[in-house]
Structure 1
Amino acid sequence: MDKLVFKHLEMTRGYFLKNVVLVSQEIANVQPEGFNNTIHWNVGHVLTVAEQLMLGLPDKTTHLPVNYIELFGNGTKPADWKGDVPTLDELIIELKEQSVRLQQIPAELLNEKLEKPFLGLETFGELTGMVIMHEANHLGIIQSMMRVIEHSEVKN
């Protein structure tokens, strides 16, 4: 079962990357009507949330800058961005590097109880499942945004 969880994590990240590498920086920063953020933000959000939940940003990992929480954390939006914002290409590189780190998490950690339940989840394995679902959800949002942007470009 442990191998299956890590396989799902790897498969979801691979499919996520396969889709976002096709997005141009210009398209990545378009916020289509009806959406709260941009593709650029969604990519950074997936990276940041996975780092927070799986690898302990900001206290237990130094692989991402702490300001990513301010840029891509829950409730943030590109309209509020200040300072140095990583490009989409930089985020893609960081997603690939993070994928390697995620695969190095010891399988026995999946059965460990969390210090306190998070959204009703009690073990690290359950949290991992939520991270997989979260990433897949944001992939769907990105795919929807792409369709809306492409459709509006055809009309213009």
Structure 2
Amino acid sequence: MKEAFEILRVSRSNQLAVIKDLTLEQLNVIPQGFNNNLMWNLGHVIVTQQLLCYKLSGNALNLDEDFVQKFAKGTLPSPNFEHTDLEKIKKYARSLPDLLESDYNSGLFKTYNKYPTSYGYELNSIEDAITFNNVHEGVHLGYLMALKRAVLSLT
């Protein structure tokens, strides 16, 4: 599993690199043809990782409820996310992969509730969740890159 945690850290680093030179205004743009913005995608991968790994294993999330409500699957992106949202995203993106690895290695994940993903793959264990989460992170890295190109073409 060590490699899976490293992939997660690299994905998060790549996600943050995509947005490093963008303004808050650019991060909030929802370009024509898209349903969300860069900020929502960044927050969404963080919330999804927590839900897939912690909630489905019966553990508490390491996020505040307001953050979850803003970025969970099925939520609508705000065109006015604030600087405080961006700072939380950066903090969580950097710290939560290490916490997940630590919690996994300490044996925190004792049970897991089966979950059929919208991807068509059923998660049956914490290992499935960690592995699948990396697929989800990669999908959203692609969205981030496409959104960035669309946003930059507008400015």
Corresponding residue to 2:126 among 104, 124, 127: 124
Task: Name the Cα RMSD after superposition.
Answer: 3.0
> Separation in 2 of the partners of 1:62 and 1:116?
18
* Unpaired stretches in structure 2, ≥5 consecutive residues: none
Amino acid across the alignment from 2:72: G
Which ranges of structure 1 fall in alignment gaps of 5 or more residues? Answer: none
- 1:14 and 1:100 map into 2 onto residues whose CA distance is 13
Kept in 2: contact 1:10–1:103 (CA 8 A): no
| Structure index of larger Rg | 1
Give the letter aligned to residue 152 of structure 1.
L
Q: Deviations over 1:92-144 (max 9, x none)?
A: 112112122122132486x9763324331222111111111111111111110
Percent of aligned positions that are identical: 23
Matching residue of 1:4: 3
Q: Distance in 2 between matches of 1:139 and 1:95?
A: 13
Paired amino acid for 1:136: G
Counterpart CA distance in 1 for 2:35 and 2:21 is 21
Q: Which consecutive segments of 4 or more residues in structure 1 shift more than 4 A?
A: 79-82
Cα deviation 1:23-47 (Å, max 9, x = unaligned): 3211000000011011111111111
What SS is found at the alignment partner of 2:31? coil
TM-score (norm 2): 0.80
More relative contact order in 1 or in 2 (CA 8 Å, sep 6+)? 2
Instruction: Quote the offset at 1:72 in angstroms.
Output: 0.7
**Selected match of 2:141 from 139, 142, 154:** 139
State TM-score, norm by structure 1.
Answer: 0.80
